[in-house]
Structure 1
């Protein structure tokens, strides 16, 4: 499996394209906010001759879904998310509260993702891990074969996700990190929703918040 990251929008959100030699791909957290960003993403997909088969969401926050309208319009894909986040304000409401501008309507998610789900595309398999705290329905997408996990805003290099947004829970987040993420092999590469990659072992040893 290969991965391409696009750092997009005013929050420098990481939009991930995961793909393999079959040409099938999934996008995790499409946050592209501007036409230039969607154009770069679309150019990459065409250059690599990729077919996007799913749009996976780690959590239902506006900065991670600003490109969902583009993916729905261009590829007929709605974001797939955990139903725990269905209680959050809509992306339109979040954008209004945060003073963000939506260039396209964001489609409602399919609230179908659950912990333990196995997601396949091409020859690649991802397993869903529930890691609530930053939001009630936060999940990680774990590729055991590649030694990678995509965690949204649960864990960062040297930091953790904020819990002062809608229905965030600090104790729950710490539990998710310690009991779920830190149970993974130490050399697992962590792909966060913002900032650089890290590893489980590095965060176990160096993260001052845990």
Structure 2
């Protein structure tokens, strides 16, 4: 199994594509620039199986509909944010951009921590709220990676001053969920460079003294 990171849009939100030897793939957070993303997918001759959203802020959903329609794949979102896809106030686009970025309703709503399986992709859904109430992280144990959305970054954590954000909740999510993963786990964050659980346990200043 391999993965690639594709920063998209004005906020350079990281979209991730995880793919296998059969060229099947799962897409995480297609935030913007659908044409650029499709060029990567088609250039590698990949066959998308699903779109998984860590949360529904506008910079993570901007290309959802175009990618979904192009490849006829389902979208997964947590139930706490299923209505955010169509609401520019909740997903932040109205406040930040003064116009709405929206997407059609997700085909699948995640209601609890669970395991998603797409052929040989086995993905554990971890509820990691705080940055937003429906934030989730996607852990691929065999590949030793976790797609953390905007919960945990290299040397930082997600902001909590947006709609229904909570610092206490975010810190609890990070410490009880993400930092419980094996230290060698590679963290694929929503923005910026990749890191590891070990690196953040040792050096992330926002996590000291919790």
With normalisation by structure 1, the TM-score equals: 0.90
1:150 maps to what in 2? 147
1:182 is paired with a residue whose SS is: helix
- CA deviations 1:127-157 (Å, max 9, x no partner) are 1011011111110100111110001000000
1:191 maps to what in 2? 188
C-alpha displacement of 1:70: 1.1
1:172 is paired with a residue whose SS is: helix
1:202 maps to what in 2? 199
2:115 touches 2:124 (CA, 8 Å); kept in 1? yes
Query: Per the alignment, do residues 100 and 176 of structure 1 end up closer, same or farther by CA in structure 2, a change over 3 Å counting?
Result: same
C-alpha displacement of 1:101: 5.2
In the TM superposition, what are the counterparts of 1:41-56 in structure 2 within 5 Å? 41-56=37-52
1:170 maps to what in 2? 167
User: Whole-Å Cα distance in 2 between the matches of residues 200 and 20 of structure 1?
Assistant: 24
User: Whole-Å Cα distance in 2 between the matches of residues 122 and 21 of structure 1?
Assistant: 12
1:78 touches 1:107 (CA, 8 Å); kept in 2? no
1:161 maps to what in 2? 158
Structure number with the bigger relative contact order (C-alpha 8 A, sep ≥ 6) is: 1
Aligned-residue CA RMSD in angstroms? 1.9
What count of residue pairs does the alignment treat as equivalent? 205
2:105 maps to what in 1? 108
1:153 touches 1:192 (CA, 8 Å); kept in 2? yes
1:115 touches 1:139 (CA, 8 Å); kept in 2? no
1:97 maps to what in 2? 95
User: Whole-Å Cα distance in 1 between the matches of residues 95 and 66 of structure 2?
Assistant: 22
User: Whole-Å Cα distance in 2 between the matches of residues 208 and 87 of structure 1?
Assistant: 34
2:125 touches 2:136 (CA, 8 Å); kept in 1? yes
User: Whole-Å Cα distance in 1 between the matches of residues 108 and 131 of structure 2?
Assistant: 18
User: Whole-Å Cα distance in 1 between the matches of residues 99 and 74 of structure 2?
Assistant: 20
Structure 1 gaps of 5+ residues are none
User: Whole-Å Cα distance in 2 between the matches of residues 150 and 139 of structure 1?
Assistant: 9
Structure 2 gaps of 5+ residues are none
1:6 touches 1:16 (CA, 8 Å); kept in 2? yes
Q: Is 1:7 matched up with 2:4?
A: no
